[in-house]
Amino acid sequence: MKKSLILVGTQWGDEGKGKIVDYFSKKFDAVCRFQGGHNAGHTIYNEEEKFVLHLIPSGVFYDHVSCFIGQGVILSLDSLLEEIEQLESKGIKLEGKLRISRYCSLLLPIHAKIDQLREDKKNAIGTTRRGIGPAYEDKTARRSIKAFDLEDNELLEQKLKNLVDYYNFQIETIHASDTFDYEEVLKNLKESYQKASKYFGDVTDSLEEIYDGGGNILYEGAQGTLLDVDYGTYPYVTSSNTLATSVGVGSGFPKSIYSDVLGVTKAYTTRVGSGPFPTELFCEEGEKLAELGHEFGATTGRPRRCGWLDLVALKYSAKLNNLTELCITKLDVLDCFETIKVCHSYKIDGVDTSFKSRLLHKVEPVYENLKGWNTSLNNCKDFDSLPEETKAFISYVEDYVGVKVTLISNGPNRSDLIHR
């Protein structure tokens, strides 16, 4: 039986997972999203064209790959239909290729509205303002509209009326903003589902059929480990579990946990939104990383905060996800640095400490200075052709984290990859 692979981000998201999923997809029979929502932004450069995928799995560009959205994903039908339309305008057909779980909780425009109103208040989390948090709240509070609810008009109307009334009360009394018309919400929801209904089916049975038939499945994580709602830098986190261990629940296929796990990390660190960031740079080096790395959010367009690679956080992520291999992306962004710093330990009041999310705002990073390579990596086609200083950087990461680096991204294009 062929093995499956779980791919996760090891930082605060934006590690370049889309490109890596796209690279591996040609070797797999199926790709499955298992958590998050359209707050993800997986960027792929495909034959001189740039695609940013928010919901649809990044294996969509290969004809032989079946794409699945598991029930752990919060689903915006409007965003889904927009993404399908964009892909089909480029000749990529989704019918018969994409299957979505009927058990997905739906994200409605009213969720985005309440998210935006909350973020406009003081002490904002720094969300994507797309409604992900409120939609996950509804799921936990057992008031979600599930995709299968659209198949029962009476049940749908009752649940949706309660939901609209619940949020309209908050919108009017707490935020003094314009409320939603229930009839209009119902009409738009039914119209969107009618267009999208052909993509819904039983994801669990489909994944099991592929797996038991000897096929292999790639599970595509969204966001990053340090944004996990339980193990990340709470409360500055996303609203889902982003770890590899959540794939069984999110995909609806428990056998998926018996997979190798590839962690994706940038050669430096970035973060969007609020929250602690020990290696963040407030100097010309940080500006240089942002400029060379084109560090703007694929989903929000917001500038990313930049800093040196944090190996303490990376080792924490490796442990939580039980990583079997590592991928380093954007290694070429460091081409022009004379000295490259990596954080190898934390101190609080002069005392060494491990990664503890509750204390991260207090830590002082301790750095090792590594010699830069001062040459372009873009023309390197294999590991042996890399400069010795680059190899030393990779070896330092491997030795500290205890996980082998098997894949290196040395440029933005689809072909800019070195596989060991």
Residues 177 and 209 in one domain: no
**Residue 99, phi-psi category: left (phi > 0), alpha (psi -120 to 50), beta (remainder):** beta
**53 vs 310, residue with greater confidence:** 310
Q: What is the CATH number of the domain that holds 87?
A: 3.40.440.10
Q: At what angle do helices 388-401 and 311-321 cross, to 10 degrees?
A: 50
Instruction: Give the tens place of pLDDT for each residue, 265-305.
Output: 999 999 998 999 999 999 999 999 999 999 986 666 778 99
Q: Domain containing 308: what range? A: 264-419
Q: What is the dihedral of CA 7, 298, 26, 35, to 10 degrees?
A: 40
The pLDDT, as a whole number, for residue 413 is: 85
Looking at the fold, whether 139 and 204 belong to one and the same domain comes out as no
**Same-domain check for residues 271 and 407:** yes
Question: Of the given ranges (117-131, 330-344, 374-388), which has the lowest mean pLDDT?
Answer: 117-131
Torsion of CA 124, 38, 32, 6, to 10 degrees: -30
Q: CA 303 to CA 24: how far, in whole Å?
A: 28
* Residue 136 belongs to domain with CATH number: 1.10.300.10
Q: Which of 122-136, 244-258, 385-399 has the highest mean pLDDT?
A: 385-399
Confidence of residue 255 (pLDDT cuts 50, 70, 90): confident
Last-in-domain residue among 138, 172, 196 = 196
Nearest-5° angle of CA 278, CA 336, CA 418? 85
Q: Which of 19-23, 150-154, 231-235 shows the lowest per-residue confidence on average (mean pLDDT)?
A: 19-23
Q: Is the dihedral of CA 84, 87, 89, 93 positive or negative?
A: negative
Which among 179, 196, 213 is the end of a domain?
196
Q: Strands 351-353 and 339-348, how do they pair?
A: antiparallel
Do 190 and 221 belong to one domain? no
Q: Tell me, what's the pLDDT at 198?
A: 96
* 29 belongs to the catalytic site: no
181/241 same-domain check: no
Q: Are 134 and 173 in contact (CB under 8 A)?
A: no
The tens digit of pLDDT for each residue in 319-352 reads 999 999 999 999 999 999 999 999 999 999 999 9
Q: Smallest Cα–Cα separation from 40: which of 235, 208, 211, 250? A: 250
pLDDT in tens, 143-198: 999 999 999 999 999 999 999 999 999 999 999 999 999 999 999 999 999 999 99
- Both 298 and 207 in one domain: the answer is no
- Mean pLDDT is lowest, of 40-49, 61-70, 234-243, for 40-49
Least confident interval from 127-136, 185-194, 237-246:
127-136
Residue 42 appears among annotated catalytic residues = yes
Stronger pLDDT, 19 or 368, i.e. the higher one: 368
70 and 15 assigned to the same domain: yes
Task: Pick the catalytic residue from 22, 38, 42, 228.
Answer: 42
Q: Does 259 have pLDDT greater than 60? A: yes
**Do 189 and 213 reside in the same domain of the chain?**
no
Judge if 231 and 95 occupy the same domain: yes
Task: Mark whether 268 and 252 lie in a shared domain.
Answer: no
**How many whole angstroms separate alpha carbon 3 and alpha carbon 285?**
41
- Average pLDDT value for residue range 107-135: 87
Q: How confident is the model at residue 47 (pLDDT cuts 50, 70, 90)?
A: low
> Do 90 and 215 sit in the same domain of this protein?
yes
| Whether residues 331 and 357 fall in one domain | yes
The residue ranking higher by pLDDT, 365 or 124, is: 365
pLDDT grade for 1, boundaries at 50, 70 and 90: very low
Residue 287 near residue 337 (C-beta atoms within 8 A) = no
SS (HEC) of the chain: CCCCEEEEECCCCCCCHHHHHHHHHCCCCEEEECCECCCCCEEEEECCEEEEECCCCHHHHCCCCEEEECCCEEECHHHHHHHHHHHHCCCCCCCCCEEEECCCEECCHHHHHHHHHHHCCCCCCCCCCCCHHHHHHHHHCCCCCEHHHHHCHHHHHHHHHHHHHHHHHHHHHCCCCCCCCHHHHHHHHHHHHHHHHHHEECHHHHHHHHHHCCCCEEEECCCCHHHCCCCCCCCCCCCCCCCHHHHHHHHCCHHHHCCEEEEEEECCEEECCCCCCCCECCCHHHHHHHHHCCCECCCCCCECEEECEEHHHHHHHHHHHCCCEEEEECHHHHCCCCEEEEEEEEEECCEEECCCHHHHHHCEEEEEEEECCCCCCCCCCCHHHCCHHHHHHHHHHHHHHCCCEEEEECCCCCCCEEEC
Q: Assign 218 a pLDDT band (cuts: 50, 70, 90).
A: very high
CATH code assigned at 293: 3.90.170.10
- Residues linked to residue 44 through DSSP beta bridges, in sequence order: 51
**CA distance readout (Å), 291 to 134, 334, 408:** 34, 11, 21
Q: Has residue 31 got a pLDDT over 50?
A: yes
Last residue of a domain, one of 158, 181, 196: 196
- Does 34 have pLDDT greater than 80? yes
* pLDDT at residue 101 in the model: 97
pLDDT over threshold 60, residue 81: yes
Alpha-carbon distance of 368 to 262, in angstroms, equals: 25
Average pLDDT over all residues of the chain:
93
Return the pLDDT at 52: 84
Structurally, the chain folds into a number of domains equal to 3
Are 257 and 278 in contact by the 8 Å Cβ rule? The answer is no
Q: What span, in angstroms and rounded, lies between the C-alpha atoms of 240 and 276? A: 19
As a residue count, the chain comes to 420
Q: Does the pLDDT value for residue 29 go beyond 50?
A: yes
